[in-house]
Amino acid sequence: MTNELPFGEVLEAVDHLSHDEQEEFIAILHRRLAQASRQRLIAEVQQARQEFGEGRCSPATPGELMREIWK
């Protein structure tokens, strides 16, 4: 994004919208955040699959993972 706006300016701009527009703004923002979260998860899964395919990790049971975490 090349034209980044300061957070305060965005809030002030939203204040000038009608109530219905503000609700739609919130709905759109929520959908965009959900989509960004899905895309981030997809990228993490792809990376994990690649690492597994390259032999950089191996399958483990939940118990094995917990023991490793608490070492």
Mean pLDDT for the stretch of residues 41-63? 92
Distance CA 22, CA 9 (A): 15
> Count of CB atoms within 10 A of residue 25's CB?
14
Residues 57 and 48 sit within 8 Å (Cβ to Cβ): yes
pLDDT confidence of residue 2:
63
pLDDT confidence of residue 30:
98
pLDDT tens, residue by residue, 3-30: 789 999 999 999 999 999 999 999 999 9
The vertex-47 CA angle with 29 and 36, nearest 5°, equals 0
pLDDT confidence of residue 71:
82
Provide the token pair at 26: 């919130």
Residue with tokens 């094995």: 64
What DSSP character marks residue 58? -
Task: Say whether pLDDT at 1 is over 60.
Answer: no
- Least confident residue range of 16-20, 37-41, 42-46, 52-56: 52-56
